[in-house]
Chains A and B, each alone.
Chain A
Amino acid sequence: MDHYKLPISDINKLFKDKKLKPSELYTEVFERTASTESIIHGHLSLFQEENIKKATDADERFLKGDELGVLDGIPVAIKDNINISGYATTCSSQMLSNYISPYDATVISKLKEEGVIFTGKTNLDEFAMGSSTENSAFGPTKNPWDPSRVPGGSSGGSAAVVSAGSAIASLGSDTGGSIRQPASFCGVVGFKPTYGTVSRYGLVAFASSLDQIGPITNNVSDAKILYNSIRGHDPFDATSLKDVNVKQPKLEKAKIGIIKELMEDGISEDAKSEVHKVSKLLESQGHEIIEVSLPLTKMSISIYYLIAPAECSANLSRFDGVRYGNRVNGNTSYEMMEATRAEGFGPEVKKRILLGTYALSAGYYDAFYGQALKARSMMKKEFTETFEQVDYLISPTTPSDPFKFGEKSDNQLEMYMSDLCTIPANLVGMPAISIPTGLSSSGLPLSVQIMSPSNTDNTLLDFAQNLESEVSFDALPQIQGDGE
């Protein structure tokens, strides 16, 4: 029987009951990889050789009853902007195609302690900038549901491999929706934690005040397991939170708000009807659905596309060919840096760096970046006030089902609009989860997004898990070449 779509806790039970060995699971997963990667291209690198030994080490542990925990022996894929010591971290960029990390990200150290087996590094939009993985310097990833369509981005690889079964779960990063949107497009679960609950040390920074690492999984229970093993205060990350106790939202008879502004123009009928369908299910579970208005969400794209490029313009300054990276020589060091960056960065990255540089430059700071900061602050207030009325907020995850390759690449504003529903959670810092709930009229996955106040992550996950079992989404992609 196939095990690669089972929940992690079920797999762990099979391991403990000696009905399945970690090396057997790994072989299964690797065979999935072998048969799907040529179509999907989700992984940039595979750690096959050392994983065989890791899997047999895990076998030993379970045999002796020495297992490390529920994640022991579980194959997890890692987005290639998260550092694993001794391996390439390319961020899907020519700039770093030859870069080997000399250190582990904190989340990686934590997962290593759990006995997780890293399948390899997955494809992304270059430096996490994009919503389709079309901006990868190493070729796009295809959506397992339809290879002529994008898997979403920027964590397209991470979402595709979970969907295809070439990893049990994966880690992605989310700055404006980069976990949730690809999860939605690939019909899997994607969770962006409260800002600061998961360490960013070792995550190649895109926008420091927005980035968070999070899990992409087959189901909510797996997301909860993975989240709780990677979260926690980290002394290497000054923005990482120490445990904060806040009032938790209700799990029963909760009040749920549909965000009016995210059910209007720019949202497809399919996406809207998913939200309505899910709302009815929630009502049948005893919850109350109301409509809420958050006017500033209409400014989300503008606010985000000022703050994120500004921060990234500085975060990417370090890529200059001096201490690492693919150097292109020059007569002077400045000429070398200019040429290295010209050749190393793709067009979207250059665009965002220039946009950010412009927004911060003398004379423009107040009108642009300064203004965006103020608007962000106001937006946070709007959400705080709204959460006094409701326990959770619900919206579509994406404006539509997965689009075709090339469909939006010539229209930058339309591409940016893909993030309309997901950006608010990053701007405000609150947790947000996307769960697949149905199929569009084209047979492609659709999801809804649930958000809750900051520092209520585990409650949100529990709530989502209850909804998930009510929704009972069990469709799977039929990947070309899938013997079935």
Chain B
Amino acid sequence: MTEKINIKNVAKLAALKLTSEEEQKLEKDLSMIIDHFAALSEMELPDEKITIHPLGMSLNLAEDEAFKFFTHDEALSNAPEAIDGQFVVPPALD
């Protein structure tokens, strides 16, 4: 694969902050793996409807019955920061 991977862009999409060393190494490693995919990419494969379940099972929908799972405290039990029962994070920009 001749096209260079824009590792910065991919890292941004994945919300991963990389050091420049990491960027270099990963770019190299990923390019190597992607080159390995060349044979697969070039195969002529027929278009087919995707079946999500490996065994072709179709979806069983659930009945609309509500029940209580967590107490308020259980839900917040691992919260890194919480105030007045809400999870707290640094300001989220749009």
Question: A99-B78, A306-B37, A353-B14 in contact; A412/B32 too (CB < 8 A)?
Answer: yes
Size bin of chain A's contact surface = 35 or more
Are B90's CB and A196's CB within 8 A? Answer: no
Residues in B with CB closer than 8 Å to A293 are none
Are A102's CB and B55's CB within 8 A? Answer: no
A440 vs chain B, min Cβ distance (A):
28
B-side interface residues, number (CB < 8 Å): 52
Question: A195-B55, A329-B90 in contact; A338/B15 too (CB < 8 A)?
Answer: yes
Question: A102-B74, A324-B79, A353-B16 in contact; A334/B33 too (CB < 8 A)?
Answer: no
Residues in B with CB closer than 8 Å to A100 are 77-78
Residues in A with CB closer than 8 Å to B34 are 355, 358
Are B40's CB and A239's CB within 8 A? Answer: no
B4 vs chain A, min Cβ distance (A):
12
Are B18's CB and A342's CB within 8 A? Answer: yes
Are B55's CB and A374's CB within 8 A? Answer: no
Are A336's CB and B33's CB within 8 A? Answer: no
Residues in B with CB closer than 8 Å to A342 are 16-18
Residues in A with CB closer than 8 Å to B51 are 377
Is A250 part of the binding interface, using a Cβ–Cβ cutoff of 8 Å? no
- The closest CB in chain B to the CB of A309 belongs to B33
A375 to B45, CA, bound (A): 7
B5 vs chain A, min Cβ distance (A):
6
Is A177 part of the binding interface, using a Cβ–Cβ cutoff of 8 Å? no
Q: By DSSP majority rule, is chain A's interface helix, strand, loop, or mixed?
A: helix
Checking A242, A301, A345, A367 against B16 with a beta-carbon cut-off of 8 angstroms, the contacting residue is A345
Question: A331-B90, A371-B45, A374-B48 in contact; A357/B55 too (CB < 8 A)?
Answer: no
Is B59 part of the binding interface, using a Cβ–Cβ cutoff of 8 Å? yes
Are B81's CB and A361's CB within 8 A? Answer: no
Could you list some 8 contacts between A and B, CB below 8 A? A102-B75, A238-B59, A322-B87, A332-B91, A333-B91, A342-B17, A351-B26, A374-B46
9 additional A-B residue pairs with CB within 8 Å, beyond A239-B53, A323-B79, A332-B90: A209-B53, A241-B55, A305-B37, A326-B80, A333-B93, A337-B15, A345-B16, A355-B34, A412-B33
Q: Taking beta carbons and an 8 Å cutoff, which residues of A are in contact with B?
A: 98-100, 102-103, 194-196, 209, 235, 238-239, 241-242, 244, 299, 301-303, 305-306, 313, 317, 320-327, 329-339, 341-342, 345, 347, 350-351, 353-355, 357-358, 361, 367-368, 371-375, 377-378, 380, 412-413, 427-429, 454-455
